[in-house]
Structure 1
């Protein structure tokens, strides 16, 4: 059986439009040109260009607006445009086909209606929601409401038929069911057509097709030469990240020429760790960096290996357990306006564990910094249980202060 290999966590890191393109490639929808896929992409682009929102916002928007979208075919192409009669108002076409012309007024357009009662015997009930059915309203004070709604529905039906029959320039085809003789008095489009044919002396019980006017072939004068029509054989879609690397944050986190230079690699690992709350978050954070263009594929693979190795360290993994309430890079503002930002704070009720990430060799300044964090949190009323410095490298180490 054919399957699809993909990571939902990786896909969710894509922006909406790129996610749709990736799904098109993933499911092989780019092997041929599908106008529905192309127009859906247009709709996605329209949304993303007007809204800086995520996937759930797009799905909600699409659920609310999808019924308004349809494929627009250029004039002159060998194609049929499908639209509702109401949408066709004010337009005209060389040929119109009106299929399923079977609307009727057997039931009013509404199932129920709010009615002002104005009943002196029930003054506490000024209005009521009544069922608009003949059986419910006949021989009651509200019988006229049923017939009023029925007449409105009949008028809507006539207007609908008028619009449909006045859109064509050259030809009109109406397709409807054969009117049932047993339902005499029933008002619907087939019965109206039958009534017209009877009044003009053309009705025949054995005939199911009627033609009016002269059946003449008219050449299409619209120029649809090869020069005016561009035909696509394939939907071309490629992941731009495999061809182009945009260094959005390279001055901050890494040197493209040499990731080891000036501790850039350590800073990059530090940046990844600052986004990790619990151990299982690591891969998704790194893939998110990759899809944002912050790192390339090789760096992504290396980061995953390094971070996994760090989080598997027996003394470090406990600091990424889900038992903690985690605050990454939480800013502490002092009364004098000075700010401090510990890399990682782990809270358990009123107890706190402080974690700081460092690169290079151990340094007394590192201890002074984390001790300063401890004093500040103690003054804030927290019980500082432990302080750890994690040294980032190919072989990570942890020091308890």
Structure 2
């Protein structure tokens, strides 16, 4: 039932899911967006470990932090920003992560490759601006001046030279710190790609080389060779698992959902082991409670204590869990309304910042010292609200009192790995069969047949579901550009239908072309052209003038050209298996006669491959989408044959081709209409009989 819901229109979608008496639409619409997601997960039994669902919930959670918590608001946001939402890949997936050094801070990988080659240490220092006091001795009235940090400062007095030298030293220290961050990301192996010989003096390569020379440790550090330090069993190992010590578990993870899952999983483990355990949870971000409820199926959160830390009493807790242990969340300096009693909030707000931090410090360590097991969780994702920086309290615990507790730090990894899917496959069902019947009755075009041959999944997506992926823009997209070409051609040639062309006719068209092009653009776009569209109109005029000049020269040489119809909408009927009548539809750009020979011409503003206009056999047209232009022309010949007896030539008018813009199919008059009809029947029957729609990988 639910697998078919994506194949119907949005209104029918809600009617369908409401009709099964499990989903209440009115109730759903009354919910905030997070609670609405939780409701859908419950009703539709969605996999809450799915990385895509996790990424969606994380994005919603960040959205409602600064926006209206409503389904409508989030859907408006989704329409504009969904393509920029990134999926955090699990650490245990076989993949390569490409990152800046800054963004990798706090993360670890089995192997790190750092291609620094010969990057300069002071590459960006000249961008720094500084204020100089009395920069010029001769200009006493000039007290201050703003200057870039450059070598020129060395020649502007002692004060300026000292500022320059200090900038160089600070930059060197920053560079060393940056390299430290990069090198310490590696768990097992570190590869540095650096310039060995003739490196710049002031470069990362020279810095590394000087360090290796200074250390003179050829047994540990070499250039160009991999060194593996063998394990020495005689080396004493640090033992930190004293069972009598307090346990401090520090967990870093990406964003908020994984924090909520960790809280839920930890509560389950605690209460499965001891139903009477005393557990205290402080949510650094109180909204995280909503996420925990999604994963807390046993409702363990209700039997734990989770009031604000400012209202914590002197009770002893067996377990303490604190989330969002990031700088900015903990310690905190502000409290949202309604989170604590008004009297407590006023008392806290009246304290100085130093007094606030002292108070939080005392409450935090009182909880820590009384508990036998502590869980501290923070967000290490640099793209999230708190920029991935752990709270100062975590840093304090890491480097102090190691003899009184066991300290464990770990990255929370998603449980589910994203599986590689070779291609999307949609199995056919009754709903799809009904939709195909509707399409065949309303009319099927050559482009629809070509789409099925090119990529059955895109046929399903565009024709069955009605989804067309055209990028929104202030300018004409590629589809509208093609439409504009056709519209202008129709307007400029229409006055001469059923007339034998004369040379002066082409001159008249060229004079009117600019005005007609602008009018057609406004008609299509409802606005005057601007920016890139003005450039496109100039290209369009140039291409059309090229065609007009070519045909004018043909007429000068005595050839006769007469246009019979433009943008002619033709239909025809064809019968396939099971006596199914199929309506064929097509809009033929141009039907004309050239020296009394009837021609079908299709306009092409995009690129064409002429090698696929050589007719070989009908079988190749059924399987190879690259022959789409030929199939389209043959389809048109079938439609035109109902009105005209003999079609002598089939061809394309390729606007961007100079000299001769026409590409004609050789010996097209020898291709029998009955053979074309059999070809179209076979393609339509393959659509009707296919069991699935598989993504071939070919783009639209």
TM-score normalised to structure 2 length: 0.22
More helix by share: 2
TM-score normalized by structure 1?
0.36
